[in-house]
Every structure is written in C-alpha cells, then in structure tokens.
Structure 1
Amino acid sequence: MKTCSNLFAFSFIFLQIFSSQINSQGTDSCTSSLNLKNKPLFDTTSFLCVSVWDAQGYILRYMQTDTKVWSFVLSAPNSNSFIGMGFSRDGKMVGSSAIVGWVSNDGSATMKRYFLGGQSPSEVMPDQGNLELVNMTSSVVAENSRIYMAFQLNTEMPSNRLIYSLGPTGRLPSSVNYQLSEHRQHTSTFLDYNSGQSESKSPYANLRRTHGLLNMFGWGILIPIGAMVARYLRQYDPIWFYSHITIQSLGFLLGFAAIICGFVLEDRLGVDVDRHKTLGIFILVLGCLQVIAFLARPGKESKVRKYWNWYHYTLGRVLILLAAGNIFYGIHLGDAGTAWNVGFAVTLIVFFITAVILEIRMWMKK
C-alpha cells in the first residue's frame, strides 16, 4: 500500500511539472518577464505590457525609448500564420500602415511594412506606408510556441488606434512578391500609451447595432409574426387581414432600412461581406415580390387564386428561413457576441413552439 501511495505521489508531481512546462512554453503574460534566447535588438527591461487581444492571446510590450523613437514587441501564439500590427487614423483597416511578421517552417523569419490601400490582397502593398522603422533594430523570432515581433518606429507619437490581424494557417507570404493572403481574424483597439489601458473599439458601433436591430426586428421578428397571423387567426375576419398587411409592411420597411444601413456600413468599414450582402439583397427582392403579389392579388373566386396562394406562401417561407440564417451570419461577421445569438435563437424557439401548438389546434378543429 505504501509503495502504491509513493507511486501515486510521484506520478502526480511528474504530471504537475510536465503540465507547468507545457504552460510555460505555450503562453505569455504581462506577469512574466520577456526571457528569450534570441533577445530583441534593443533593451526591453522597463517596457509597459498590456494584453491587447485576449481572444487570440496577443501581448504588446512598448515604451518610448528616445525623443522620437518608440519600441514595440508584439507576442502571439505561433500558428504557422502571419501576425500584423497596424496603425490607423480612424480605426479602419483600409488606409492604415502595418508591420507584419512571420516565421517559415524552415525557421527563416521575415518582417515587412505594408500599406493597406484596399480590401483585396492586391491592394495591400509591401514596403509602403507611413511607418518609418529604425534601421537594424527589427527582428522576428519563434520560441516556446509563440512568435515575437520586435521593431522600433521613428515618430514623436504613434497612433493610438491600433489594429491587430492574424493570417490564414499555412499560407505565409511568398518571397516572390510578399503578397498577403486575406486575414482570418482582426480587431481594432484603442491604446492609451500613458496608462497602458487598451480597449476594443468597434468602428461605427452605433451603426452596426442599428443595422443588426433593424434586421432582427424587421425580417426576423415582424415578418414571421405577420405570417402566423395570416395562418392561424383567419377566423377573425377581416381583422386578421389588416393586421397581416400592417405587420408585414412595417417589417418590410424596417428590413429595407436595415439594408440601407448595411450598404453605408460596408462603405465606411471597407470590409468584404459579399455573401452576407448578396443574401440580404436576395431577401429584399423576395420582399419586393411579396409587395407586388399583394398589389396583383386576384379575387377569391378567380381560377388562378390557388396558384397565387402557392406563390405567396412559398416565397414567404423562403424569405423567413433565409432571413433567419442571414441574421445569424451577420451576428457572426460582426462579432456581436453570445448575447445576440442567444436572444435571437430564443425568439425563434418561442415562435416555433407557438406555431406547433397553433398548428395542432388548427388540425384538431378540422
């Protein structure tokens, strides 16, 4: 029994040491010192440290080391991707200048300046931009499962609107033209250089919120409610008809306003949301076809009324399904968070349960 206890204790200690080694190798934090074998080419002893992108594990160390010299060390997990740090005037990626670094599988490290002139990779131009690097002080190293990008800038005060990006896994820039692939994640932040406080700044946050709420209430809530009124409250004629028209018209107007906000938002942010935009336009077209169908509605005794009904019901159901999917997709694109997903999902679940109950009740009456 004593031997088993000793063996258990030894195994526990071994696992603790092993796990602590793994954690120390794969993580970095502002509570630990920057202890690298391949040290940056400038002194980093008194640097301020701040966690700038918790979701991706980005750590920034910085300091003004001379009258017109600012020094930076950006640390991030090494995922066989490039990492980037951009300096922006307004928090937008387009129009900013960036420092991008990566370490290839053969161990060779590269760091370059880029000017982000547009949304497509061809408009992201290497060796351009308004960032002036101090000669012979830049370096990129990969150690302990992380990548460290160190550089110094000649500037009196760098922009406090910083953008961080993470490239696609396994698609590093080629030495032929150093063209960057489209990033898979990015974030825009505000950094107070004096206090070291960093916070995420979503550009045009109010416009984003308005776009999302209008879509959710217009296409995602009012349109399904109007459809349920038309299907389950027909015994209250003609109240159901006028209620249906009123609710659907309001939902269409809110949805139309949401799409206008979406176009403005896309233009201001300079982002690529073609799939989300295409779905939104298609949903708007379906809504317009429903309006046209209402204006061209044949009489109840007409022979083509049943075909009109089939057309009207089918397009309405397709619109509701596509709108719900596109709203979730928009929440994902905007990084709106779990609360938006949960809130809209709960609403849809309530609609579904209500519809099932009313459907059963309707068939039992028949």
Structure 2
Amino acid sequence: MALFQTLIPALCTLSLLFQIQPSYSATCTSQKFGRNRIFQHCNDLPQLNSHIHWTYDSSNSVLSLAFAAFPARPDGWIAWGINPNGTGMIGTQALIAFKKPGGDSMIVKTFRLNSYKSVEQAEIMYDVSRLEAEYHRGLMMIFATINLPNGMTTLNQVWQVGASVMNGTFPAIHAFQPENLSSKDKLDLRKGQSLTSTSQENSGLRSKQIHGALNTVSWGMLFPIGIMMARYLRTFADPAWFYVHISCQMSSYIVGVAGWATGLKLGSQSKGVEYTIHRDFGITLFCLATLQILALFLRPKRDHKYRFYWNIYHHGVGYGVLVLGIINVFKGLEMLDPPKKWKLAYIFFLAVLGGIAISLEVITWIVILKRKPGKSGISIKLYDGQKDSNGGQQPLTS
C-alpha cells in the first residue's frame, strides 16, 4: 500500500509533464507549441517537410513567427528568411538554428546570404527580438518577432535544411536536390496564405526535363550511333555509310543545340545556382561538337596531303565528344534525380550499344582478314591514307 501511495504522485506528475509537452504532427493546423505560443495563421510549406506559423500585427508591422522543420540529419540545421529584393537565396536575411555541440539545446543566429559562396553571420536588415530555438523528437523550431517596414504585407520567404554544422558554429552547405532549390515562395501576411505559383514550379521542372531529354538523345544516343555507322557500316555499304553517318551526327548536333539553349535559359532563370562541373562539361562539349561539324566543311579531298592529319583531328574530336557526352548525361541525371528506372534504362541502352559494337568489331575484322585488296567488290580500308603493297597511295575514304 505504501508503494502505491508513492507511485501515484509520481505518475500524476509524469502525466502532467506529458500534457504540457508541445504537439507536433505532419500538418501545421494540429501543431501546438509550449509556453502558450499561439499563432493566427499557419501554412504547410511545399518543400522539405516544413511549416510556418505566424501572427501579423498590421498596426505596427510586427510579425511573430514559428518555423518548424526536420533537419537533413539530426545534427544538421534549419533556416528561414526573408529576401527583400528577390525570390531566391541570394540576398536573404536568414535565421538559422542548430544544436549546441554535445546536447539537444539549440542555438539560433542571424545570417546574411550574400551569395552561394558567402554566408555571413551578422545582424540582418530587420529588427529581430525574442529569437529562440527548440528541439523536440527530431524537429527543430525557430521562434522570432520581426519588425517589418511599414506597409509590407507580403514577403518573399526562403527556407532550407542542412545535414551538418562546421565546428559546431557554422552551417555547412545544403544539398542541391530539386526540393532544396524550390524551397521558396511569397507569403501574404494578412490573408494567411502562400502565393506560390504551382504552374511556375511545374514549368521550371518541365524545362529541366526537356533539357535533360534533348541532351540525352543528342550526345548520349545519336552521337554514339553515328560513330558506329562510320566505323562498321563502311565495311558493308560504301559510300552509303557516309551519308548515314552525316545524318546521325547532324541530327545529334541540331538536337544538342536545342538542349544547350535550354540549359542557357535555365541558368539565366536560376541566378546563383551553379552546377560548375556540368556547366563546364556542357560548354566544352558544345565547342568540340561545333568543331566536329566544321570538319565537314574543312575536309580536304581524298588525295590531299593534309587529309591524313584531318583524319586524326576528326577522329580525336569525335571520340572526345563521345566520352564527354556520356559523362555529362550521367551528371545531368544525378542533378535532376529522376526515377531510378530512367538511369537504369540509359545504362541498359549503353550496354546494348556496347555489345553490338563488340560484335560488329569482331565481324568487321573477320571480313577484312578474309578479303584481299584488289579484288572486285568493296575495298577495305580501316584508315585513310593507308599505302598499298606497291608503295602507292590507296584512294582515301570519306
């Protein structure tokens, strides 16, 4: 009996503690915060499983808010901010929260996001008070009161999550997945709703998909097929192979130009977002492909003394475009992050093409070794400028 008398007060105390703990769920309307924090409006943000709660006092332009999100990892960080001059990250006046080293207590600081390579911990252009942060069951929360300029009833909000904190004091760079790059919209403080244009978001994603599809078909598919036509079809169909080869490569270039133009448009619409390796590979690829097309108009006649050197240039640049194009297709797939089946489909295509190339290589060499130069029919020449048995110059192929 004495044991029950001891346990009952303890159980009551635990019950009371559970009752006063904040409540968190997948939707903002059922989220409740401790210390009697109540907000007039809330939105479930469209990216990164995040939520914004706020109350706006229009009489003195004061915004009281709570931002809640799960960091990319438990030891990561969350951020919410206002961009006074644009809709992206650059120029954002941000509040960033993360855990103190060695515990679950939180730190929240103000940062100026001057560029993707310059994040400065400093006072922001708005007067911020009651700045706090909390952590509960994996969820991080930022609370703040912000004095806004008079008459500011809509704002460009930007939010983000990251995976780690450098030296326990500074947020490390976040991921560049589509949801990270789309974590922004316009917030109407009085109406209590987001003004995100779903059609604009879908248009941006559609442009990226078109860019990826065009370049995959161009450099990743048509161009390798064109090279195979030149190497293997000439053994069996001369001079028809030349026109098939030219048709493939010209089609590849035209589609590639469309893909390159789409990439330039995407870059201009996403200032500050840089995929350096993919961009540099794309520029190099386009320049080499243009040189390859120019080779068609700079091609010396078959018996010209410089034809041998033109062949070296033509083959070298062609194989360079082939390798660089395939690598950049994979880079693009990595950034676009489509369903896994698309990447597997392209790998399957390359595997089938590689198998066909190996088979044709074997067949071609068998045919070449069985045939003798000088007989009626098609003469076999693997390389332009090859000399015959009498020391003379054989006719050069295209």
TM-score (norm 1): 0.72
Distance (whole Å) between structure 1 residues aligned to residue 294 and residue 329 of structure 2: 24
1:323 aligns to 2:303 (yes or no): no
CA deviation vs aligned residue, 1:117-148 (integer Å, no higher than 9, x gap): 433215x574335x664x22x31123434433
Name the structure 1 match of 2:101. 105
Name the structure 2 match of 1:121. 118
- Between 1:64-73 and 1:241-250, the stretch displaced more is 64-73
Aligned length: 325
- Between 1:203-212 and 1:279-288, the stretch displaced more is 203-212
Name the structure 2 match of 1:249. 250
Contact 1:226 1:243 in 2 (8 A): yes
Query: Aligned partner of 1:75: which letter?
Result: A
Distance (whole Å) between structure 2 residues aligned to residue 339 and residue 132 of structure 1: 49
Instruction: Determine helix, strand or coil for the equivalent of 1:30.
Output: coil
Query: Aligned partner of 2:249: which letter?
Result: Q
Closer, same or farther in 2 for the Cα pair 1:120/1:203, shift >3 Å?
Answer: farther
Name the structure 2 match of 1:308. 310
Instruction: Determine helix, strand or coil for the equivalent of 2:225.
Output: helix
Q: Give the unaligned 5+ runs of structure 1.
A: 1-27
Contact 2:25 2:31 in 1 (8 A): no
- Between 1:239-248 and 1:309-318, the stretch displaced more is 309-318
Shift of 1:351: 2.4
Instruction: Determine helix, strand or coil for the equivalent of 1:300.
Output: coil
1:72 aligns to 2:73 (yes or no): no
Query: Aligned partner of 1:210: which letter?
Result: I
Name the structure 2 match of 1:297. 299
Shift of 1:229: 1.6
Query: Aligned partner of 2:164: which letter?
Result: T
Shift of 1:329: 0.9
Bigger-Rg structure (1/2): 2
Instruction: Determine helix, strand or coil for the equivalent of 1:237.
Output: coil
Distance (whole Å) between structure 1 residues aligned to residue 345 and residue 90 of structure 2: 32
Closer, same or farther in 2 for the Cα pair 1:110/1:203, shift >3 Å?
Answer: farther
1:171 to 166, 170, 180: 166
Distance (whole Å) between structure 2 residues aligned to residue 258 and residue 196 of structure 1: 33
2:90 to 85, 94, 99: 94
Distance (whole Å) between structure 2 residues aligned to residue 196 and residue 296 of structure 1: 58
Distance (whole Å) between structure 1 residues aligned to residue 244 and residue 89 of structure 2: 46
CA deviation vs aligned residue, 1:147-175 (integer Å, no higher than 9, x gap): 3323345567554x65432345241685x
Closer, same or farther in 2 for the Cα pair 1:132/1:244, shift >3 Å?
Answer: farther
Shift of 1:269: 0.5
Aligned-pair identity (%): 23
Closer, same or farther in 2 for the Cα pair 1:80/1:31, shift >3 Å?
Answer: same
Contact 1:86 1:98 in 2 (8 A): yes
Shift of 1:72: 2.1
Query: Aligned partner of 2:213: which letter?
Result: L
Shift of 1:47: 7.3
Closer, same or farther in 2 for the Cα pair 1:172/1:313, shift >3 Å?
Answer: same
TM-score (norm 2): 0.67
Closer, same or farther in 2 for the Cα pair 1:280/1:218, shift >3 Å?
Answer: same
Q: Give the unaligned 5+ runs of structure 2.
A: 1-23, 369-398
Distance (whole Å) between structure 2 residues aligned to residue 166 and residue 172 of structure 1: 17
CA deviation vs aligned residue, 1:158-211 (integer Å, no higher than 9, x gap): 54x65432345241685xxx7x65433424245888689997936733432332
Query: Aligned partner of 1:237: which letter?
Result: D
Instruction: Determine helix, strand or coil for the equivalent of 1:345.
Output: helix
Contact 2:98 2:107 in 1 (8 A): yes
CA deviation vs aligned residue, 1:63-104 (integer Å, no higher than 9, x gap): 547666453231314543332224458653234443222223
Instruction: Determine helix, strand or coil for the equivalent of 2:182.
Output: strand
Closer, same or farther in 2 for the Cα pair 1:150/1:363, shift >3 Å?
Answer: farther
Name the structure 2 match of 1:360. 362
Name the structure 1 match of 2:226. 226
Name the structure 2 match of 1:183. 174
Name the structure 1 match of 2:212. 212
CA deviation vs aligned residue, 1:293-319 (integer Å, no higher than 9, x gap): 333323334555444334322322221
Distance (whole Å) between structure 2 residues aligned to residue 202 and residue 47 of structure 1: 26
Shift of 1:246: 2.4
Shift of 1:279: 0.9
Name the structure 1 match of 2:385. none
